[in-house]
Structure 1
Amino acid sequence: MDKTRESKEEEITGSDLGTPSAQRPTSANSVMPRGVISASELQKGGGFQKNGGTNAPRREAAQHSTLKVNSQLEVIRGEVERVRFKKAESDFVIFELKAKDTLSSTVVVGNGADIAAGLEVIITGEFVTHPRFGAQFKARNISIVPPSSTDGITKYLASGVIPGIGPTLARRVAEHFGGETLNILERTPERIQEVSGIGSSKAHAIATYLEENKSLHEITRFLTEHHIQPGLANRIYKRYGNRSIERLKQNPYLLARDVVGVGFRTADSVALRLGIELESPERHRAGLLYSLERARDDGHCFLPREALFSSCESLLETHPSLVDHEQRLRELLEEKLVSTRDEHVYLTSLAHAEEYIATFAVERLTPRKKMLLDELEMEKAIRRVEGDLAITFSNEQRKAVHAALSYRLLLLTGGPGCGKTTVTRAIVEALAEAGCNIALTAPTGRAAQRMSQVCNLPAKTIHRLLRFDPFTRRFIHNESFPIEQDEKQVDAIIVDESSMIDLLLAQSLFSAIPHNATIILVGDKDQLPSVGPGRVFGELLSITEIPTITLSQLYRREETSRINDIAYQINAGLDPQIPEPDGVTKSDAYFLERTDSEEAASTIERLFIEQIPKKFGIAPGDITVLTPSNRGPLGTIQLNERLQRAVLGQHDRAFTLTNSDISFYEGDRVCQRKNNYQIDEFGVFNGDTGTIVEIDDSGKELTVELWDGRLINYSENDIQQLTLAYALTVHRSQGSEIPCVVLALNESHYTLLERQLIYTAVTRAKKLLIVVGSRKSLSLASRRAQSKKRFSSLKGRIETILR
């Protein structure tokens, strides 16, 4: 059963919170402030559930008219004194609340539409302590008490809630219509002309605005009446228009499918508040889909049937006897939302992607009837590269170039220092000699830039190569319009960091490759798999029929270089031999034993700010802290806050720009958290890093100098996609080459420790690696092979076709 529905709501007492009857909103009043609740609803305690736990600590700022509604949540009432920050698109707001019986004010953070200075509000939430900004009241629900007095109505209208009505006009309107002002403006907005001093054109503009926003106000009030945050209203209205309420009543779970940014949990909250039964078929189908989506987000392409049913039961908190999984699954199959293969259940898009990639791979197994370049010309190309780099190719490297000229699909793999980059350059030379139109690509911008520098050809991210259209949210290049370069179809595509490519991106890439073109996938099979679903590169490598070259010979860099050796020790499941600094041993890798998390964090700070720059001559800008997780004292969140304070404490700071719980300053190192194709002509992609070089005086825009030298102007909305980047997760560092890596590793990361993770972290370091933590954790990670199996059947599909 759903715990929030099952738990008994506590009665709310305290007459001081009752709203006078004259202030109660009428059901048709859409110019009422969004977020209004009636006194009867408040007194009944609608929507306030008992969650358990201990009482939140009381603070001086909590001494407003305050009421406990359960063991965690409180209700406070007061007047909005000042609005500090407001984001219209999501209704996110930060404001100061003042109660009549207190001298101090409370900072409130939450979602509330139409919040303006002077309004009286009732807020449900809890007091929290922000590590930087101190005590705040985190609002779960903000309800505006509709004003009834002339002064109250004047304040409300003067707040800018209706364009065209300023303070002077607001006073005249309130005095003319009195306590019925808001009702009149909603029901008969044309009566605004009765107010002296309003011309017909202005009256018409105000009336038109009120009429156009009527539907949006209605859906906002509908959501609020069911204790659902009004911040959803804009997104729902954009999707469904005037049919929004009708669609919500029919099937609120469509929100998770149709409205960007709304997932199952939000839709389920809406549904339960609208009275949907816990065991309803709609809820059950949505739960099955969400279980598959959650599995996809964890990297799986399918779930075994019984595992899916078990996951859904846990999610919905229902007893197996009360639901019919097989019937709901048949319904989803009929709607073509899911697909099955044996006892595996897939989201349809993932099943199609696996089938497409399997067919694509098998169709390209046959060797070309004639090499793209004869043996003599191939040798000439190899010798040019040997001469440029003053090296001699091994037999396996020569075989790789030969295979690239002989097959339409080639996999090239090997660990660090095995010469993948060198071979790639020789392949490019040979393909160019054969007259091929060559495209170089990689999942990340940094990897693409590295390819371009090595091969002396332009390289693009996969998204840029396929030309993503942000309006249709599809790639322009596809089966019907294959990849072009210089207005000609490409003859060969070389993809670096192929282990990072997930199932859906691989399908998009492969479908856009011309039929007779060569595709060469280059990568390290032992690195972490893609963040997205599947293990495409790894599964292709497991098919013996696919042409594969594995480079195994290690080319040492310097006698004192240990990084590559450490990587191979980890890959072999051995305890990596990383020396501790003794003032004598020269190395590019060191280990500092720090078992206590706070001591480790303090050590990392000193290394970052002082010791590494002083001893090794590596600037802080070239140092990145890597960690397995976001949470905890050695997670990215706390480490970033710590390093931000340490770094910017040495410089003059600009003012703070608040983005949720993150503050940005000029000079901050930041990282893009999601792809943004519209911010400039080239786009900014997930994982791109840069430095804030300017924050404008309004605090609503900033400029970032990206790693590639581009200056990108971030608007208020775009800023939400940034996070601090002094410390990154190992997953986010994939595809990067980092001059100096400081790796945080201790027992707090126990569940995340595995071989592929620390192997990936170690191989990011190019000049210096320092591990801070416990050797026990390092040893555990090295010995623990991949602990989380991914459910994927690409290999099985290929083998089925080959039979």
Structure 2
Amino acid sequence: MNSELTQEQVIRGTIRRVTFHNPSNGYSVLQVSVSGKGDPLTVVGYSTRASIGTQVIVRGVYKEHPKYGKQMAANSITETQPSSPDGIEKYLASGMIKGIGQRTAERIVEAFGEETIEIICKEPGRVAKLPGVGRHKAALLKEALSQQADMQAIMRFLLEHNVTQGLATRIHEKYGNRAVEVLSKDPYLLAREMRGVGFQTADTIAMNLGLAPDAPQRLRAGLYYALERAGDDGHCFLPLAQLLQRAIVLLGIGDDAGVDLSHPLEALIEEGYILKNEENIYLRHLFKAEEFVTEFIFKRVSEPNTDPLDPSLVEESISQSEKILNLALSAEQQVAVHEAAKQRLLIITGGPGCGKTTLIRALTLLFKKAKKRLFLAAPTGRAAQRMSQVCDHGASTIHRLLRFDPVRRTFLHGINDPLPADALIVDEASMIDISLAKDLFSAVPREAALILVGDKDQLPSVGPGRVFGDLVANSGIKTISLSRLFRRKEESTITSVAHMINAGIVPQIPEPDGVTKSDAYFIFKKDPEEAARLIEKLVADQVPKKFGFDRHDICVLTPSNRGELGAEKLNARLQEALNPRSNSGSEQELLVGSNWLRLGDRVCQRVNNYQIDDFGVFNGDMGQIYSVDRRNQTLVVELWDGRLIKYTSSDLYQLSLAYAVTVHRSQGSEIPCVVLALHDSHYTLLERQLIYTAITRAKKLLIIVGSKRALAIASKRASASKRYTNLQSRLERLIAGR
């Protein structure tokens, strides 16, 4: 391969044309003339100010674009002030200063030649005397050149310390002329104040700035980040000893380095960022959330319901439900209906096929018959949509129900403005983490009935805590466990497999032989590469042809993001098979990080964004790219609830391809066809809760591709991951002492 196409090159030239420039993030497509090189070269990268006539130093790699030919992908574009009269003239006339056009620029350069820039900055009075300039324009020129000089100095400082051009542009945009001062004082401020910048990025900058490995601000940032990462792993807190050990590993300081973390820890406590409860260390907001949820639940179970529904009305409602639903409610379901009529808090748990959905329909009919103000909600849009369709009653996501206020950056409904509800039923409650539980519970009126429905055997919430599991495990909270498995006209292998795995039994799943009819199949593939190729073929060709599924109704699930059978590589493979570049053309795609997002791609939201539209978009929401505007670096996604959401360049990092997703990210979804990658290479992640959650996502068809050994390990291995949360122990102490 030509080394010119692989090694970083440095060119010096002048911007002759600005094909595209996005001022919000600096992304630019420039035509740069290089002395002795003939036609201008296309340069693609990030530039703080792209103006015709600006002289630049570009560092980058040559690439061959399929449509536009040879280009330079710039790692950095550094502006330099021009020195020749011709260059200075083009620079001043580039439009950077309103009112300074070609004629005025010519007049100034004609008067001062190569000394023009120095005279503008040091003797603006001489410039003001020129015809057509005056004091106002001269002052504007001096200010603009001073700002450009300051900005170039800041950019040089950032680039010299290995800050990428794109991030350097964002840093300058946020902090302006204070950027050097801010970063020199505390580079870790970036991780706290800038979206998409984490500890590792801030730490790299800090090290490049020469910050000592044991600097106080680095130790504080490391401790705080270790707690944040623990939250990402589902913990509400860490024991002190474990926090210190995690921070030591994260900071790379070693046990024998003699670094004392007690002082930075105390500083974080004094500053209010973290709290110490006995020997447990919490992020402040997680401690407050756990404390609030504990008190809320205790009040719910200790204070009697002063307005229970009439038992005769409940019996009438059960009879009516059985007629409308054309089935008989089980004894468990009938008990649940009676309890819902008199409890202020009721927990309902059950596996697939045990009648949770039927029970929610019966409860909906009960509260409507009693003329109560009823709200239905679920953590995800898909679950809420399903709930609404099944119950013939409006349902919404929890976030939409609580209504986020982007100005105050909090929910409108809360303790001071509770929901106008007499009853609230929440489905898929196992997905609710401690922070969302606090927000939701604070909006429930004191006298309203709260009913949480879920499956205690599924994976806990992605976020911190194990709220639903802790509530089910508490004997002082009224809980109904649905255990009767309702038989369908056609026996469901998916349901049988799920219940066998939940019991720790390795299921026998048929292999596709062209004869056996089933809604679940297992295909053995020992080699990960072969398994990945088969998954691609199944999704792109075999499943649509043999089973009649639309490609949009097929989703690949995997335990991991990494590896040959992880979500990242599977997405790249499936995108190329289902939506190759030739389908959309190069004008209908955007480079986001290291991945291309194309028109028609299935994508997933990775973080909560309350401000992107009136209702917000939340972690796990999926959709399809509806339109792409490459010029403005924006795209529009049509979510599965029908909304069209516009993503600007600063929001794009929130999206990822979603032809394949991790099992955790699939929680709350009901997918017509699931293709599950399950292989020995996933060994450390294989456990019963994970595979049970994956299998119960499949509504009509399940195909597992991988090894039988992996299936056996996952079926037999109970969850070994302990979550640090004190909700259950706090509740037990309070309830036992009442």
| TM-score of the aligned structures, taking structure 2 as reference length | 0.89
Supply the AA of the counterpart residue of 1:336: G
Which position in structure 2 is the counterpart of 1:657? 589
Q: What is the CA–CA distance in structure 2 between the aligned matches of 1:261 and 1:201, rounded to whole Å?
A: 41
Q: What is the CA–CA distance in structure 1 between the aligned matches of 2:71 and 2:53, rounded to whole Å?
A: 20
Which position in structure 1 is the counterpart of 2:573? 642
Change (3 A) 1:116 1:535: farther
Write out aligned runs for 1:65-144 (5 A): 76-79=10-13, 86-93=21-28, 111-114=46-49, 121-122=56-57, 142-144=77-79
Query: CA offset at residue 538 of structure 1?
Result: 1.1
Which position in structure 2 is the counterpart of 1:12? none
Contact 1:354–1:797 under 8 Å retained in 2: no
Q: What is the CA–CA distance in structure 2 between the aligned matches of 1:113 and 1:615, rounded to whole Å?
A: 54
- 2:605 maps to 1:605: no
Q: What is the CA–CA distance in structure 1 between the aligned matches of 2:280 and 2:308, rounded to whole Å?
A: 42
Which position in structure 2 is the counterpart of 1:266? 201
Which position in structure 1 is the counterpart of 2:677? 744
Query: CA offset at residue 143 of structure 1?
Result: 3.5
Which position in structure 2 is the counterpart of 1:615? 546
Comparing 208-217 with 258-267, greater Cα deviation is found at 208-217
- 2:686 maps to 1:777: no
**1:267-303 residue CA offsets vs partner (Å, 9 max, x unmatched):** 3344444443322222212211111112112221111
- 2:613 maps to 1:680: yes
Change (3 A) 1:182 1:738: farther
CA RMSD of superposed structures (Å): 3.5
Supply the AA of the counterpart residue of 2:591: N
Comparing 190-199 with 387-396, greater Cα deviation is found at 190-199
Change (3 A) 1:136 1:313: farther
Supply the AA of the counterpart residue of 1:777: A
For residue 787 of structure 1, give the secondary structure of its aligned residue in structure 2: coil
Counterpart among 61, 71, 90 of residue 5 in structure 2: 61
Counterpart among 215, 229, 243 of residue 280 in structure 1: 215
Which position in structure 1 is the counterpart of 2:399? 463
Contact 1:193–1:203 under 8 Å retained in 2: yes
Q: What is the CA–CA distance in structure 2 between the aligned matches of 1:261 and 1:410, rounded to whole Å?
A: 39
Comparing 272-281 with 186-195, greater Cα deviation is found at 186-195
- 2:270 maps to 1:334: yes
For residue 578 of structure 1, give the secondary structure of its aligned residue in structure 2: coil
Change (3 A) 1:518 1:123: same
Contact 1:657–1:699 under 8 Å retained in 2: no
- 2:269 maps to 1:325: no
Supply the AA of the counterpart residue of 2:695: V
- 2:722 maps to 1:789: yes
Which position in structure 2 is the counterpart of 1:71? none
Change (3 A) 1:698 1:112: closer
Change (3 A) 1:246 1:119: closer
Contact 1:560–1:588 under 8 Å retained in 2: no
Q: What is the CA–CA distance in structure 2 between the aligned matches of 1:175 and 1:588, rounded to whole Å?
A: 82
Supply the AA of the counterpart residue of 1:657: E
Which position in structure 1 is the counterpart of 2:341? 405
Which position in structure 2 is the counterpart of 1:344? 280
Counterpart among 755, 760, 776 of residue 688 in structure 2: 755
- 2:447 maps to 1:537: no
Comparing 295-304 with 121-130, greater Cα deviation is found at 121-130
Contact 1:285–1:329 under 8 Å retained in 2: yes
Which position in structure 2 is the counterpart of 1:299? 234
- 2:373 maps to 1:437: yes
Change (3 A) 1:177 1:635: farther
Q: Percent identity?
A: 51
Contact 1:141–1:227 under 8 Å retained in 2: no
Q: What is the CA–CA distance in structure 2 between the aligned matches of 1:627 and 1:103, rounded to whole Å?
A: 51
**1:311-362 residue CA offsets vs partner (Å, 9 max, x unmatched):** 2122222244532222222222222221112221111111111111111111
Comparing 230-239 with 628-637, greater Cα deviation is found at 230-239
Change (3 A) 1:413 1:176: farther
Counterpart among 399, 415, 430 of residue 351 in structure 2: 415
Q: What is the CA–CA distance in structure 1 between the aligned matches of 2:114 and 2:130, rounded to whole Å?
A: 15
**1:470-522 residue CA offsets vs partner (Å, 9 max, x unmatched):** 23321111211112xxxxx2121111111111111111111121122221111
Query: CA offset at residue 83 of structure 1?
Result: 6.6
Supply the AA of the counterpart residue of 2:384: A
Counterpart among 489, 503, 522 of residue 434 in structure 2: 503
- 2:445 maps to 1:514: yes
Query: CA offset at residue 645 of structure 1?
Result: 2.7
Write out aligned runs for 1:359-378 (5 A): 359-366=295-302, 368-369=304-305, 372-378=308-314
Q: What is the CA–CA distance in structure 2 between the aligned matches of 1:690 and 1:207, rounded to whole Å?
A: 50
Q: What is the CA–CA distance in structure 1 between the aligned matches of 2:102 and 2:654, rounded to whole Å?
A: 36
For residue 301 of structure 2, give the secondary structure of its aligned residue in structure 1: coil
Write out aligned runs for 1:556-575 (5 A): 556-575=487-506
Change (3 A) 1:723 1:167: farther
Q: What is the CA–CA distance in structure 2 between the aligned matches of 1:376 and 1:399, rounded to whole Å?
A: 14
Query: CA offset at residue 421 of structure 1?
Result: 1.0
Contact 1:428–1:455 under 8 Å retained in 2: yes
**1:631-679 residue CA offsets vs partner (Å, 9 max, x unmatched):** 3332223322322232236985353322323333333322233333344
Change (3 A) 1:100 1:578: farther
Contact 1:373–1:430 under 8 Å retained in 2: no
- 2:636 maps to 1:692: no
Query: CA offset at residue 443 of structure 1?
Result: 0.9
Contact 1:80–1:97 under 8 Å retained in 2: yes
Which position in structure 2 is the counterpart of 1:314? 249
Contact 1:121–1:145 under 8 Å retained in 2: yes
For residue 357 of structure 1, give the secondary structure of its aligned residue in structure 2: helix
Q: What is the CA–CA distance in structure 2 between the aligned matches of 1:262 and 1:189, rounded to whole Å?
A: 41
Q: What is the CA–CA distance in structure 2 between the aligned matches of 1:779 and 1:164, rounded to whole Å?
A: 75
Counterpart among 600, 606, 613 of residue 667 in structure 1: 600
- 2:315 maps to 1:382: no
Change (3 A) 1:146 1:557: farther
**1:184-206 residue CA offsets vs partner (Å, 9 max, x unmatched):** 55566676645655577766665
Supply the AA of the counterpart residue of 1:323: V
Change (3 A) 1:531 1:723: same
Contact 1:367–1:406 under 8 Å retained in 2: no
Comparing 200-209 with 690-699, greater Cα deviation is found at 200-209
Q: What is the CA–CA distance in structure 2 between the aligned matches of 1:255 and 1:337, rounded to whole Å?
A: 16
For residue 617 of structure 2, give the secondary structure of its aligned residue in structure 1: coil
**1:203-230 residue CA offsets vs partner (Å, 9 max, x unmatched):** 6665666677787666545545655446
**1:387-423 residue CA offsets vs partner (Å, 9 max, x unmatched):** 1221111111111111112211111111111111111
Which position in structure 2 is the counterpart of 1:725? 658
**1:351-394 residue CA offsets vs partner (Å, 9 max, x unmatched):** 11111111111111136355621221101112222112211111
**1:146-166 residue CA offsets vs partner (Å, 9 max, x unmatched):** 432234445555665555656
Q: What is the CA–CA distance in structure 2 between the aligned matches of 1:190 and 1:507, rounded to whole Å?
A: 64
Query: CA offset at residue 564 of structure 1?
Result: 0.6
